[in-house]
Amino acid sequence: MAVTLSAGVRASLSAISQASANAQTAQLRLATGKKVNSALDNATNYFTSEGLKGRASDLNTLLDSMGQGIKVAEAASKGIDGITKLVQTAKGLANAAKQTSDTTARAAYAAQYDDIRQQITDMAADSGYNGTNLIKATADDLSVKFSEADSARELTIDGVDLDSAGLALTAAAGSWATDANIDTDLGLVSTALTKLRTTAASFGANVTILQARQDFTKSMIDTLNNGADALVLADSNEEGANLLAAQTRGQLAQTALSLASQADQAVLRLF
C-alpha cells in the first residue's frame, strides 16, 4: 500500500518553502542594499542602471578635465594680473623719467625699466599649471571637452604670448635721453596694457564658461546616479517588513505542518 502525503501536509511544506525563499530574498536585499543585484532579478532595470552609471563615470572623467582646465586658465589669469602690475610700474618709471632733465637719472630709470621687462618675461614663463602655460613665449593652447558622446563639444582657449617680446616692450629707447625716446616707450606700454586687459577679459570669460560647465556636469552626474539607484536600490524599511512577514509565514506554516502531521498520525492510530 503506497503512503502519500496529505493535502494539508503538502500545502504546509509548500508554504514553508515559499516563506524560506522570500526570507532569503529579503535578507539578500538588506545585505546588498539592492533589489536588483543581477540581470536575473530584472534585466531591464539592471542594464538601464548600468548604462546610466557608465555615462556618469564618463562624465566624471570629463569633470576632472574641466577642473584642471580651470586651474590652467586661473594660473594664466594670475600671471596676467602680475604682469599688468609690472607694466604699470614700467609706465610709472617712464613718467618719472620725463619729470627730470638729468640724463644720468633718466638712464637709471631706463635700466630699471629694462629689469622690469625681464621680470615680465620670467613671470609669463612661470604662469603655467601642470605643464600647460597659456601666456608664455610660444604659448600653449588648451582644449577642454564637455561631452562624452560628441568630441566637437569643447572649449578651446588659444594661448597668447605675453612676455616682454609678445607685448612688444623693447629695450628702453636711447636710454631715455630724450622725451621722444620716453614717449616712444610710453606708447608701447599703453598698447601692452590694452592687450593685457583684453586677454584678461577673454580668459575670465572662458573661466566662467568652464565653471558653468563644471557645475552642469556635476548636476548631470548626480541625476544619472540617482536615476540608476532608483532602478536597483532596495527600500530597507520595506525589505525589513518583508523579512519579518516571511519569517512569520514560515512559523505559521511550521505550525500548520505540525497540526497536519498530528491529524495524519491520529488516523494511523485507528489502524
pLDDT of 22 reads 61
Q: How far is CA 16 from CA 134, 217, 249, in A?
A: 72, 50, 8
Query: Cα(26)–Cα(190) distance, rounded to whole angstroms?
Result: 75
Which of 18-22, 133-137, 198-202 has the least mean pLDDT?
A: 18-22
In this predicted model, what pLDDT tens digit does every residue of 145-162 receive, in sequence order?
A: 988 878 788 999 999 999
Taking residues 230-237, report their average pLDDT: 70
At residue 1 the predicted structure's pLDDT band, cuts being 50, 70 and 90, is very low
Taking residues 111-133, report their average pLDDT: 96
In this predicted model, what pLDDT tens digit does every residue of 72-82 receive, in sequence order?
A: 999 999 999 99
pTM over 0.85: no
pLDDT of 252 reads 62
Number of residues that this document lists for the chain: 271
Mean pLDDT value across the chain: 84
Contacts 24+ apart (CB under 8 A), 109-116: 109/176, 110/172, 110/175, 110/176, 111/172, 111/175, 113/172, 113/176, 113/185, 114/171, 114/172, 116/86, 116/87, 116/89, 116/90
Query: Cα(217)–Cα(211) distance, rounded to whole angstroms?
Result: 10
Taking residues 210-229, report their average pLDDT: 92
Query: Residue 10 pLDDT > 70, yes or no?
Result: no
Taking residues 38-58, report their average pLDDT: 88
**Do 207 and 1 touch, CB atoms closer than 8 A?**
no
